[in-house]
Amino acid sequence: MVKKLYKILCAVAALASVSALITVSADVTDEQKRKADYLYMEAQTQQQLDNYELNYRLLQRAMELNPEETNAGNQFGLLNVLIAEDSATRMQGLIMMEDHYKAHPDDYYSALKLASVLSQLGMRDEAISVWDQLYSRYPLKDDVALNYAENLLNSHSLDDNKKAIPILDRLETAIGKSMALTVKKVNAYLSLSDTINAIKEINDYMDSAPKDIMGMLAAGDMRMLMEQPDSALYYYNKACETDSTNGMAYYKLAEFYRESGDSLAYDREIFHAIRMNSLEVDTKVELLRTYIVNLFSDSTQVPRIHSLFGELIEQHPHETAIHNLYASYLVSQNDYCKAAEQVSYVLDMDHGTANDWIGLIGLRMQCEDYEQALRDADRAESYFSDAPGLMWYKSIVELQLDKPQEALKSLKVALSQSDKVKDDETLSRMYTSAGDIFHKLNVPDSTYYYYDMALAIYPRNYNTLNNYAYFLACEGKDLDKALEMSGKAIAATPTNPTNLDTYAWVQFKMHNYATAKEYIDKAIELEEEPSAEIYHHAGDIYFFNGEPDEAVKFWEKALELEDGDKELLLKKIKNRAYFYE
């Protein structure tokens, strides 16, 4: 029935809004009653044939003809409760169900549906009332007793909680002891602050099932809930002793030591649990995730964490969750190359999504393995050629490999699908990449055209503002515009050394040498590994600030790092003077 109701929900949701339009006839003729009965029976047939929309319309018409027909009203009301978008129609549906229940209190299945709906709607008191009546009529039906007890236990009333206990006792007598019933009874006693009977329930269950490992673990959990850690530890240890191959037992023991602050014991049990073949992979992954979080700041644990991952992968080489978690950990350790290996293993097993491949390509670029990044991009394209983000990343890799024409081709594919890019910042960055490619191709007009497009889409694209300003400064044109854009970039990112270098270079081009010196000093101070370009700029700026000796030192540093044309730097160093190309 649930499956069919779900199908109905999908098929006739659009019809629910008209349910309030049922015409109530003041006097229902015998002919109308006969037609309504016929429509109701036909509705049943259509439901069996999975014609849910027609089923709904037939019920609706039956109710229009005879609003007093509660059988049709009960079904029609249930559908409206499930699918109506407005609360008024849902409430009307609930009233129809209640009307049928009042008219036919012995209709077991309809009463069961009404009680369940009331429970789901959070109408706790009304639900308990119906469950109470059901239990009075059908005390031997286990599902009724269980639902009634659960509703009583979920009530905020202590009297209701107390009423649940004899019902659970009767259930226990009928079907025997179980941990599920014991947990409910313990919760009932704890809500009444009756720890003596709560403990008795635990002990009684363990006496009835002394070898039940899951029972021992549940008993331990309940003792922890009752703030009795020594008793909890007793049950966890007993579970481990009873079945030394049970990974869940060691997992619980490990969690106990973690909460108790015993790091040595926690560490020991974590390793024990993870090595257990009986522990499910998802539990192992979550256990290891928690372990990493707790010991992340302890650098001495790094080798042990790697060792754990190694053991897990050896046990479960094809479990993608383990490889993904290891990749995340490696990224946190800035080990991008090994992280890329783990992601690659995952994508070998499962092609994943375009974003998964973008993540892998990003990791390859982080470790400057551009050739492999391009191979990954080519492979990803065979699966996701219609993913603009993927083609954009491919163009970035190709530009890094000094293949601007190929990069332009890939980016054109990405931009042709720009309607799929819903984020303005991402789309702006794609247009920035187009500008970067045209700069590489030495086509300044196209470079600036695409930078303007990027900024029109997302004005806070600070990378574009910086690049635009720098290239204008290098050309010595529109310096006021360059200064404005560079200023916006450093205002937003005042500690970004690249942006500070650009601002210094723009000021230098505008002959504001003192200001240029101030900002190039900041750039060098904040840059962990200054590039040849920054040192070269610093030499030029210092020279025009009347410090030729310092200028030469910077030019010499630039020369050490320069892997391109060194002729200009050699000329400056040899002559201890500024020259330009």
* pLDDT over 90 at 455, yes or no: yes
Tell me what pLDDT residue 5 has: 42
Whether 205 has a pLDDT exceeding 60, the answer reads yes
CA–CA distance from 212 to each of 50, 236, 379, 581 (Å)? 45, 12, 51, 84
Structure tokens given for 246: 């049970």
Residue with tokens 């982080």: 366
Tokens of 539: 């030499």
pLDDT of residue 14 exceeding 70: no
Report the range of poorest mean pLDDT among 44-48, 463-467, 573-577: 44-48
Q: Kindly report which listed range (3-17, 423-437, 474-488, 494-508) carries the lowest average pLDDT score.
A: 3-17
Tokens 């015409």 belong to: 23
Residue 400 has pLDDT above 80, yes or no: yes
Q: Which residues contact 69 (CB under 8 A, 6 or more apart)?
A: 33, 36, 37, 40, 62, 63
pTM over the 0.75 mark: no
3-state secondary structure at position 423: coil
The mean pLDDT value of the chain amounts to 88
Instruction: Please classify residue 268 by burial: count the beta carbons closer than 10 Å to its beta carbon, then call 0-12 exposed, 13-18 middle and 19+ buried.
Output: middle
CB 334 within 8 A of CB 310: no
**pLDDT for the residue 17:** 43
> For residue 141, is it left (φ>0), alpha (ψ between -120 and 50) or beta?
beta
Task: Provide the pLDDT for residue 1.
Answer: 39
Least confident of 43-57, 228-242, 567-581: 43-57
- Cα distances (Å, whole numbers) of residue 463 to 86, 179, 441: 48, 61, 19
pLDDT at 33 over 60: yes
pLDDT digits (tens, 9 = 90+) for 350-383: 899 999 999 999 999 999 999 999 999 999 999 9
Most confident among 36-45, 224-233, 404-413 (mean pLDDT) = 404-413
- Give the least confident one: 228-232, 277-281, 368-372, 384-388: 277-281
Q: Where do the domains of the chain lie, and which CATH numbers do they carry?
A: 1-104 (1.25.40)
Residue 24: band (very low, low, confident or very high) from pLDDT cuts 50, 70, 90: very low
| Average pLDDT of the segment spanning 575-581 | 85
Task: Work out the number of other CB atoms within 10 angstroms of the CB of residue 63.
Answer: 25
The arithmetic mean of pLDDT across residues 462-468, rounded, is: 96
470 to 1, 474, 497: CA distances (angstroms): 68, 6, 13
Q: Which residues contact 225 (CB under 8 A, 6 or more apart)?
A: 190
pLDDT band at 295; cut points 50, 70, 90 = low
Tell whether the model's pLDDT for residue 34 goes beyond 60: yes
- Characterize 29-41 residue by residue with b for buried, 16 or more Cβ atoms within 10 angstroms of its Cβ, and e for exposed: eeebeeebbebbe
Contact 316, 322 (CB under 8 A): yes
Q: Name which of 182, 185, 133, 137 is nearest 161 in CA terms.
A: 185
Q: Which residue type occupies 50?
A: D
Highest mean pLDDT among 97-111, 137-151, 541-555: 541-555
Each residue's pLDDT tens digit, 407-448: 999 999 999 999 999 999 999 999 999 999 999 999 999 999
The per-residue b/e assignment along 204-224, b for 16 or more CB within 10 angstroms, e otherwise, is: ebbeeeeebbebbbbbbbbbb
pLDDT of residue 218: 85
Q: What is the number of other CB atoms lying within 10 angstroms of the CB of residue 228?
A: 15
Instruction: Confirm if 77 and 97 have CB atoms less than 8 A apart.
Output: yes
Confidence of residue 296 (pLDDT cuts 50, 70, 90): low
- Asked if the model's pLDDT at residue 263 lies above 80, the reply is no
Distance CA 281, CA 315 (A): 10
Q: How many residues does the chain have?
A: 581
Confidence of residue 16 (pLDDT cuts 50, 70, 90): very low
pLDDT-derived band at 20, boundaries 50, 70, 90:
very low
Q: Which range (64-78, 285-299, 453-467) has the least confidence?
A: 285-299
Cα Rg, the chain, nearest whole Å:
36
pLDDT tens per residue, range 84-96: 878 888 888 899 9
* CA–CA distance, 285 with 251 (Å, rounded to integer): 11
Token pair recorded at residue 235: 């049950």
Cα of first residue to Cα of last residue in the chain, in angstroms, is 82
Q: How far is CA 482 from the centre of its chain?
A: 41
* Residue 80 three-state SS: helix
Determine the residue type at 79: L
Share of the chain above pLDDT 70, in %: 95
d(CA 104, CA 74): 11
Q: What's the confidence (pLDDT) of residue 4?
A: 40
CA distances from 306 to 265, 310, 313, 319, 329 (A): 19, 6, 11, 17, 9
What integer is the mean pLDDT of 292-307? Answer: 77
Q: Is the pLDDT of residue 176 over 50?
A: yes
Give the Cα separation of 327 and 335 in Å (integer): 9
* Token representation of residue 352: 């994943």
135 sits in the region (left: phi over 0; alpha: psi -120 to 50; else beta) called alpha
What is the rounded CA–CA span in Å between residue 574 and residue 562?
16
CA distances from residue 48 to 4, 5, 19, 55, 58 in whole angstroms, order as listed: 9, 12, 22, 9, 13
479-490: per-residue pLDDT in tens? 999 999 999 999
> What's the per-residue H, E or C state across 487-553?
HHHHHHCCCCHHHHHHHHHHHHHCCCHHHHHHHHHHHHHHCCCCCHHHHHHHHHHHHHCCCHHHHHH
**Tokens of residue 127, six digits:** 């639900």
Amino acid at site 226: M
Confidence category of residue 282, pLDDT binned at 50, 70, 90: confident
CA separation for the pair 216, 250 (Å, rounded) = 12
Res. 221 pLDDT band, cuts 50 70 90: confident
Distance between CA 334 and CA 403 in Å, rounded? 28
Q: Identify the band that residue 18 occupies on the pLDDT scale cut at 50, 70 and 90.
A: very low
